[in-house]
Amino acid sequence: MLLTGAEIVVQCLQRENVKYVFGYPGGAVLHIYDAFFQQDEIRHVLVRHEQAAVHAADGYARASGEVGVALVTSGPGATNAVTGIATAYCDSIPVVILSGQVPTAMIGQDAFQEVDTVGITRPCVKHNFLVKDVVELADTLKKAFHIARTGRPGPVLVDIPKDVSAAKCEFRYPETVSMRSYNPVVKGHQGQIRKAIKALREAERPILYAGGGVILADAADELTALARRLGAPVTTTLMALGAYPASDRQFLGMPGMHGTYEANLALHHADVVLSIGARFDDRVIGSPEHFASEPRTIIHIDIDPSSIGKRVKADLPIVGDVRHVLADFLRILDEEGVTAPSEALAPWWERIEQWRARRCLAYEQPAEGPIKPQYVIETLWKVTKGDAIVTSDVGQHQMWAAQYYRFDHPRRWLNSGGLGTMGVGLPYAMGARFARPDAPVVCVTGEASIQMCIQELSTCKQFRLPLKIVNLNNGYLGMVRQWQQLFHGGRYSESYMDSLPDFAALARAYGHVGIRVDRPADLQPALERAFSEHANELVFLDVRIDPRENVYPMIQGGKGLTEMILSADSL
């Protein structure tokens, strides 16, 4: 049967079991939108800005583990999508972006709404395609989904000129993909794995350092089983919160710039570091030279060979899918009869408990106020029983959410760790709600970040998304203000935001529930009402927090893991 390119797009998405497409129409994608209109298997979610389309697709992917799909038009549609694409790329999130393009005959003529989308997005996609002939469309889309979800996942963009979406050809969706140039390694090298196990069993001070790869590979169960078997402490990066239960004794918290005292010191003083799907990012280890000052064995498991040896030298590199590799670890430990943790780690745990006894995340909430942001997150954790999907934007509120909401399960914590994109929080929450319509979804944000995608309150109304937005409002670009206070002599250059809207009233203007919270005593009742009385509505809680509160512990950029500032008192 002959189908148009637009109909082929719809058919391909259906074959890939796509349930939602987040998008925004325009001239170059009119044929595709027309084809969407004539089917009802795939639901289109009309966002209010293309950046949010990609963020929502990205949030959907993070929450569900499936490939997220966004659809934008040519020119400004595509350029607006770029921030979303780069955000997904930095965190290795599988997203397929379909962009319209001017007709092939007009490419290169500076046509209306023409940009070189493939050229602009090249450095921030896993791969991209320009489809010049409708006969290539189905194969290309099949490849796009395959590339996005396999290996180290990432965004793949398919640019479709308008005449290609109008042209007809015989439709046949390939069952399988075979690419001689793309065959990601899945299984780790068995010899290396055995060496790694030997090193771990002989270690006096081992640590498991897990990154976003554990979430992406759905390897949380394997990680937990391995940690319990070895009895070793676990630290998970910002991207991996929830990959190991935060309520467990072996969990030390997050390492890095705003990591816990015990996680940073344990990572620094460990004699064997098992890095699992993590990449020794600058926000995690600070200076590689300082990190390398302690002699130790580094075992580095990653599906992407270029992540290994990039920042620190790995003694035992293992290339492979984290879940497969960890399953091999467990199988070999079975074979070797290792069923219980070694008693030999007792002295290591004694040291760790001393570090933990510093209670680096302790804070005080004065009864009369001001409201402390840490208290907001802890109360949120209590009210949601620690079981919500929490999205965040970027800044102080992101770090407080990461530190104080104790995630016990994977895919509950969605944030832009790599690119650090303000504005992701609300669209991530939208995507998460579509992925998990049964789950409570909370967006923890700040008054600056939320304004970067606030137009999506309109989308939330249209699709009746009962999200809960917790706005930690301190009137400042808080993280910028913190750095200016600590490292720029208190010169608060452009970090104070004047003339903020009345957020509660703004939320009401969009048709939602808006509540302003000024006093500590009002916080828990307001949160409880949001999840009971207003369970089926979007509730915007504008929480006025202490404008001078800083995020601690903190390691200054470029310093080492042992150089932590623990509180304002230690400055």
Partner 1 sequence: MRHLISVLIENESGALSRVAGLFSARGYNIESLTVAPTEDPSLSRMTIITTGSDDVIEQITKHLNKLIETVKVVDLSEAPHLERELMLLKVRATGKDREEMKRMADIFRARIVDVTDTTYVIELTGNQGKLDAFIQAIDPALILETVRSGVCGIGRGERVLRV
- Which residues in this chain contact partner 1 in the complex, by CB under 8 A? 118-119, 122-123, 126-127, 130, 147, 179-182, 304-306, 309-310
Among 453, 457, 479, 455, residue whose Cα is nearest residue 468: 457
Using alpha carbons only, how large is the chain's radius of gyration in Å? 24
Give min distance, CB of 147 to partner 1, in A.
6
Please give the Cα distance from 13 to 30 (Å, whole number): 17
Give the span between the Cα atoms of 530 and 520, in whole angstroms.
Answer: 16
Q: What are phi and psi of 46, to 5 degrees?
A: -85, 110
CB-nearer residue toward partner 1: 1 or 179:
179
Shortest distance in whole angstroms from residue 158 CB to partner 1: 13
**Alpha carbon distance, N-terminus to C-terminus of the chain:** 72
Residue 338 is classified by DSSP as -
Q: Is 479 a catalytic residue?
A: yes
Which residue, 176 or 306, has its beta carbon nearer to partner 1?
A: 306
Handedness of CA 43, 47, 50, 54 (dihedral sign): negative
Our CB check for partner 1 shows the closer of 31 and 300 to be 300
To partner 1, the closest distance from the beta carbon of 165 in angstroms equals 20
Whole-number Cα distances in Å, 557 to 309, 311, 312: 21, 15, 17
Is the CB of 37 or the CB of 182 nearer to partner 1?
182
Active site residue 11: no
In the bound complex, what is the minimum distance in angstroms from residue 151's beta carbon to partner 1? 9
Candidate list 39, 112, 462, 487, residue with the active-site label: 112
Please give the Cα distance from 251 to 272 (Å, whole number).
17
Tokens encoding 233:
């402490």
Options 14, 113, 192, 524, the catalytic residue: 113
CB 148 → partner 1: shortest distance, Å? 11
Give phi and psi for 338, each to the nearest 5. -90, 105
Q: What are phi and psi of 251, to 5 degrees?
A: -85, 130
Least distance to partner 1, CB of residue 182, Å: 5
Q: What is the DSSP letter of 532?
A: T
User: Min. distance of Cβ 181 from partner 1 in angstroms?
Assistant: 4
50 carries an active-site annotation: yes
Residues 25, 26, 29, 35, CA torsion sign: positive
Q: Which is nearer to partner 1, 310 or 508 (CB)?
A: 310
Which is catalytic among the residues 7, 16, 50, 456?
50
Helix or strand or coil: residue 540?
Answer: strand
- List alpha helices for 104-219, DSSP H: 117-121, 137-149, 162-166, 190-202, 212-216
User: Closest separation between CB of residue 115 and partner 1, Å?
Assistant: 15
Query: Of the two residues 127 and 529, which places its CB atom closer to partner 1 in the complex?
Result: 127
The single-letter code of the amino acid at 149 is R
Among 254, 422, 479, 564, the active-site one is: 479
Question: Distance between CA atoms of 543 and 545, rounded to whole angstroms?
Answer: 6
Contacts of 378 (CB under 8 A, 6+ apart): 404
64's tokens? 């569900």
Nearer to partner 1, 79 or 485 (CB): 79
CB 69 within 8 A of CB 101: no
- CB-based contacts of 143: which residues, under 8 Å, 6+ apart? 129, 177, 179
Q: Report, in Å, the least distance between residue 126 CB and partner 1.
A: 7
Q: For residue 101, give both structure tokens.
A: 């393009």
Q: Which residue(s) pair with 129 in the sheet?
A: 158
> Active-site residue 540, yes or no?
no
Closer to partner 1 at the Cβ: 133 or 563? 133
- Are 415 and 398 in contact by the 8 Å Cβ rule? The answer is yes
Query: Which listed residue (162, 251, 378, 407) is catalytic?
Result: 162
Q: Which of 302, 320, 288, 291 is nearest to 210 (CA)?
A: 302
**Omega into 161 within 30° of 0, i.e. cis?**
no
- The gap from C-alpha 128 to its chain's centroid, in whole angstroms, comes to 22
Secondary structure element (H or E) that encloses residue 406, with its range: none
CB of residue 321 to partner 1, shortest distance in Å: 16
Cβ proximity to partner 1: between 65 and 309 the closer is: 309
For residues 87 and 264, which CB has a smaller minimum distance to partner 1 in the complex? 87
Please identify every residue annotated as catalytic.
50, 112-113, 162, 479
